[in-house]
Chain A
Amino acid sequence: MRFGRASSQQDRYEREFRTIYSALYGTALRMTRDPDRAADLVQEASVRGYEAFDKFDGRNFKAWMLRIMTNLYINQYRKLYRTAGQVSLEDEHVEEAVAPPEEIPDIQIFSDMLEEEVEQALGDVPDTFRQAVILADIEGLSYDEIAVIVDVPVGTVRSRIARGRAHLRQSLERYAIERGYIKKSSIDE
């Protein structure tokens, strides 16, 4: 009887997990920027999630698992894998992103960039801001859900998303210049 219940819980967890593990992996990949580490993170999260599955309130499994994985990442992985170049300070300054209209390359250029280029540009965004952008723009979570996941106030989430997008635009502009989609002078002049 007890084994029957355990098996049923396992089946339910498997079903739920199958629907979101790609999202978990994508987020892990963008947080760690390494496929192997991302897979490790997802595996660890899957085990932690199952351990705590009886505490899941049944509402948003993806947000619940993302929270588990993000906490894991914050507590374990980021300390181990953070490289010297990665910065995640809240007060990091972003260069003034709002430029006169004539100095900003056509925004349409960004839409035409390759997936790989967008991923690279996203990878250049500092950790904390990137995490917020990933959860909001890629995983489609609400500000409230992100606030719970990363354990900060909603206002901080909003600020991080805005800063992350500003960073992303700078990175995209750099890539656009490097690849000759736009000329440097169009920004510098």
Chain B
Amino acid sequence: MSDIRDLISAYADGTATPEERAHVERLAAEQPEVAREILWMQVARQMLAEKCRTEAPEELFSTCMSRVREMDRRQRTERTVTRLAPALCGALCVAIIGAGVFNRSQNGNTLGANQVASLMTGGAAVRERQSVDADRAADAFRALNENMGGAVRLGAVPQLQPWSIERGYLDRHPFTRVLFRDSQGATVQLVAVASSGVAMENCETVDCYRISQMNGLTCVAWTEGETTMLLTGPYDQSTLMALGNELRQVKN
């Protein structure tokens, strides 16, 4: 019967083939129950079509569209991020590397005023100290020049006798300090520090020198390539500048 029912159903729906239609109509003419089944199938279609109409709640449409819009936004964001990801990564890398280089360059070449003051007052850590014989001043200057990587060429000054050379680091900046005694026995300090950017408070500039006061002593500074030279002693600035000239072997 199921085959017949399938045929009847298809007949009622108008999807039966001409042969099937003829078969069903022949059966219906012979068997009242087949005719009645056809009628039922037609009633069922009509009844369902009429009685099973459902109106969806309006808020369902809004909810669906909200989800669609949300998904659309998310997809667009993802697409944008995906498209820009290589560029963003590159930019980030450049920023990180750039910041590192900048930081390194800043740290590598710049010393703050407080650091300089610390250096000139013995605050920086000394790793090596070497006494210098009075008659070996030339050796002290050679050592000083060598310590500065050959960038500094200072000449001996007769009135200053070196008696100690110290080496150390000030915040990763290597420095060399030479202590002299002058003819009066007063101590003069010359420091060479591997930094071309040295800050000094309230400094004035005369010729190639920057002059400042540190802990009651006058300090003159000048640069030799990437090295800054700092000279202090119990003198006024003219005397210190003259000493500086002699060390630099500059004749007035």
- Chain A residues closer than 8 Å to B60, beta-carbon distance: 21, 25, 39, 42-43
* Residue A63 is within 8 A (CB to CB) of chain B in the complex: no
Known A6-B76, A22-B56, A98-B34; contact A138-B48, beta-carbon cutoff 8 A: yes
Q: Could you say which of A43, A114, A163 contacts B67, with CB atoms under 8 Å apart?
A: A43
Provide 23 A-B residue pairs closer than 8 Å at the C-beta atoms, listed in order of the A residue: A10-B68, A21-B60, A22-B54, A22-B55, A22-B56, A25-B60, A26-B52, A30-B52, A47-B64, A98-B5, A98-B37, A111-B47, A137-B45, A137-B52, A138-B48, A158-B6, A158-B10, A161-B9, A162-B10, A163-B2, A163-B5, A166-B5, A168-B44
- Chain B residues closer than 8 Å to A1, beta-carbon distance: none
Known A13-B68, A136-B13; contact A43-B63, beta-carbon cutoff 8 A: yes
Max chain A Cβ within 10 angstroms of own Cβ: one of B15, B56, B76 = B56
- Chain B residues closer than 8 Å to A34, beta-carbon distance: none
Q: Could you say which of A21, A96, A113 contacts B64, with CB atoms under 8 Å apart?
A: A21
Which B residues fall within an 8 A CB radius of A?
1-2, 4-6, 8-10, 13, 15, 32-34, 36-37, 39-41, 43-49, 51-57, 60-61, 63-65, 67-69, 71-72, 76
Establish whether residues B9 and A162, one from each chain, have CB atoms under 8 Å apart when the complex forms: yes
* Residue A18 is within 8 A (CB to CB) of chain B in the complex: yes
Indicate the size class of the contact surface on chain A. 35 or more
- Chain B residues closer than 8 Å to A10, beta-carbon distance: 68-69, 72
* Residue A51 is within 8 A (CB to CB) of chain B in the complex: yes
Please provide the 5 A-B residue pairs with the shortest distance between their CB atoms, ordered closest to farther: A26-B54, A25-B56, A162-B9, A46-B64, A137-B48
Establish whether residues A169 and B44, one from each chain, have CB atoms under 8 Å apart when the complex forms: yes
> How far, in angstroms, from A107 to B186 measured CA to CA in the complex?
130
Q: Which residue of B lies closest to A165 (CB)?
A: B44
* Residue A50 is within 8 A (CB to CB) of chain B in the complex: yes
- Chain B residues closer than 8 Å to A111, beta-carbon distance: 43, 46-47
Q: Which residue of B lies closest to A162 (CB)?
A: B9
- Chain A residues closer than 8 Å to B49, beta-carbon distance: 137-138, 140
Establish whether residues B52 and A104, one from each chain, have CB atoms under 8 Å apart when the complex forms: no
Proximity bits, A112-139, B CB within 8 Å = 1, else 0: 0111001100100000000001101110
Establish whether residues B53 and A26, one from each chain, have CB atoms under 8 Å apart when the complex forms: yes
Establish whether residues A115 and B8, one from each chain, have CB atoms under 8 Å apart when the complex forms: no
Cβ distance B123 to chain A, nearest Cβ, rounded Å: 61
- Chain B residues closer than 8 Å to A26, beta-carbon distance: 52-54, 56
Establish whether residues A162 and B36, one from each chain, have CB atoms under 8 Å apart when the complex forms: no
Establish whether residues B5 and A110, one from each chain, have CB atoms under 8 Å apart when the complex forms: no
Known contacts A101-B36, A159-B6, then 15 further A-B pairs from the complex at CB < 8 Å, ordered by chain A residue? A22-B56, A39-B60, A46-B68, A47-B67, A51-B71, A97-B1, A97-B37, A99-B33, A110-B43, A110-B44, A136-B13, A140-B49, A161-B9, A161-B13, A165-B40
> How far, in angstroms, from A25 to B64 measured CA to CA in the complex?
11
Establish whether residues B72 and A50, one from each chain, have CB atoms under 8 Å apart when the complex forms: yes
> How far, in angstroms, from A51 to B69 measured CA to CA in the complex?
11
Establish whether residues A107 and B40, one from each chain, have CB atoms under 8 Å apart when the complex forms: yes
Proximity bits, A84-119, B CB within 8 Å = 1, else 0: 000000000010111111001001001101110011
